[in-house]
């Protein structure tokens, strides 16, 4: 399963990339606005930090023409950009056209299996299914992941199911169990993936025993 960082903060990307496990970055208009810098400069800096991964950058137009114009512009900025387009009738039509042109699309704001099907049929590279926002309203976000993964497998679509709106490490575990292709998460959740109290206790015990015995690696 690929791990993406969900952020508009360049510094977070820089720190996470050092761990060597980041396969890509997703942004959205809210995350870019929170980061407080220009859109293009932010996206380009992130692209340079993950040259072998993809960076999803989102359009804000809502008509087919606006989406196409913005998507072609954003895609021209760097070879590893995937254009994020919302799941609307205009977004699906634009996605169909853009994939014919060779521009990769991350279809975002997908909440239901039927929306996932339409994204796959339009040729989206990634289908971003939001789980946390569904859990927030007392429903089961992961049900749509299960359906979308099965749909892609049943029909041999090339789209990858991207678990978005992740709130905690168990969302990542569930994504793994369901065979999702990608999980994108905030920096804080990625940090939490490392943590286990028994690792900390175990490491401390190994080090204490080693030092007490006066052992050395380099004699």
Q: How far is the CB of 202 from ligand E4P (least distance, A)?
A: 33
Q: How far is the CB of 130 from ligand E4P (least distance, A)?
A: 6
143 touches ligand E4P by CB under 6 A: no
125 touches ligand E4P by CB under 6 A: no
Task: Please tell me whether residue 92 adopts helix, strand or coil conformation.
Answer: helix
Confirm whether 84 is a catalytic residue. yes
Q: How far is the CB of 147 from ligand E4P (least distance, A)?
A: 18
Q: How many residues bind ligand E4P (CB under 6 A)?
A: 11
Instruction: Pick one of 96, 121, 133, 168: the residue that binds ligand E4P (CB under 6 A).
Output: 133
Site for ligand E4P in 32-71 (CB under 6 A): none
Site for ligand E4P in 166-195 (CB under 6 A): 184
Check residue 26 and give left, alpha or beta (phi > 0: left; psi -120 to 50: alpha). beta
Contact criterion met (CB below 8 Å) for 105 and 123? yes
For the stretch 195-200, contacts whose Cβ atoms lie closer than 8 Å and that sit 24 or more positions apart, written own/partner, are none
What count of other Cβ atoms lies within 10 Å of the Cβ of residue 77? Answer: 15
- Provide the H-helix boundaries in the chain: 10-17, 29-35, 39-49, 64-75, 89-100, 113-121, 132-135, 141-155, 169-177, 187-192, 197-212
Q: How many helices (H) and strands (E) does the chain have?
A: 11, 8
Site for ligand E4P in 96-115 (CB under 6 A): 108
Instruction: Pick one of 130, 146, 152, 182: the residue that binds ligand E4P (CB under 6 A).
Output: 130
Catalytic residue among 84, 121, 188, 212: 84
164 touches ligand E4P by CB under 6 A: yes
Q: How far is the CB of 120 from ligand E4P (least distance, A)?
A: 17
Site for ligand E4P in 3-32 (CB under 6 A): 6, 26, 28
Strands 160-164 and 126-130: parallel
Contact criterion met (CB below 8 Å) for 132 and 166? yes
The contact set with ligand E4P (CB under 6 A) reads 6, 26, 28, 108, 128, 130, 132-133, 164-165, 184
User: Which residues participate in catalysis according to the annotation?
Assistant: 84
């Amino acid at each position: 399963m690929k791990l993406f960082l969900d952020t508009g903060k360049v510094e977070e990307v820089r720190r996470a990339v050092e761990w060597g496990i980041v396969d890509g970055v997703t942004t959205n208009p809210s995350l870019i606005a929170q980061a407080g810098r220009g859109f293009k400069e932010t996206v380009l800096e992130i692209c340079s930090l993950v040259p072998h991964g993809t960076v999803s950058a989102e359009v804000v137009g809502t008509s087919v023409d606006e989406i196409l114009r913005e998507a072609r512009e954003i895609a021209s900025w760097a070879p590893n950009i995937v254009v994020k387009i919302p799941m609307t009738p205009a977004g699906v039509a634009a996605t169909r056209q853009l994939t014919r042109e060779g521009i990769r699309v991350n279809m975002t704001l997908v909440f239901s299996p039927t929306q996932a099907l339409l994204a796959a049929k339009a040729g989206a590279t990634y289908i971003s299914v939001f789980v946390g926002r569904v859990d927030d309203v007392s429903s089961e976000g992961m049900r749509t992941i299960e359906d979308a993964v099965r749909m892609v497998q049943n029909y041999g679509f090339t789209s990858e199911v991207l678990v978005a709106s992740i709130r905690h490490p168990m969302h990542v575990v569930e994504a793994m169990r369901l065979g999702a292709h990608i999980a994108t998460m905030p920096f804080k959740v990625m940090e939490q993936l490392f943590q286990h109290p028994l690792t900390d206790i175990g490491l401390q015990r190994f080090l204490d025993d080693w030092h007490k015995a006066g052992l050395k690696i380099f004699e």
